[in-house]
Chain A
Amino acid sequence: QKEVEQNSGPLSVPEGAIASLNCTYSDRGSQSFFWYRQYSGKSPELIMFIYSNGDKEDGRFTAQLNKASQYVSLLIRDSQPSDSATYLCAVRGYQKVTFGIGTKLQVIP
Chain B
Amino acid sequence: DAGITQSPRHKVTETGTPVTLRCHQTENHRYMYWYRQDPGHGLRLIHYSYGVKDTDKGEVSDGYSVSRSKTEDFLLTLESATSSQTSVYFCAISESDRAPYNEQFFGPGTRLTVL
Contacts and interface: CB of A to CB of B under 8 A. Distances in A.
Interface string A83-95: 0000010101001
A100 B42 CA distance: 6
Interface residues on B, range: 20 to 34
A44 B40 CA distance: 16
Nearest to B48: A96
Contact of A92 (B90, B102, B106): B102
Interface in A25-42: 31-32, 34, 36, 42
B43 A43 contact: no
Interface of B: 40-45, 58-59, 90, 97, 99-100, 102-109
6 contacts: A32-B102, A36-B106, A43-B108, A95-B97, A96-B58, A102-B42
Q: Which 3 A-B residue pairs are closest in the complex by CB-CB distance?
A: A101-B42, A99-B43, A43-B106
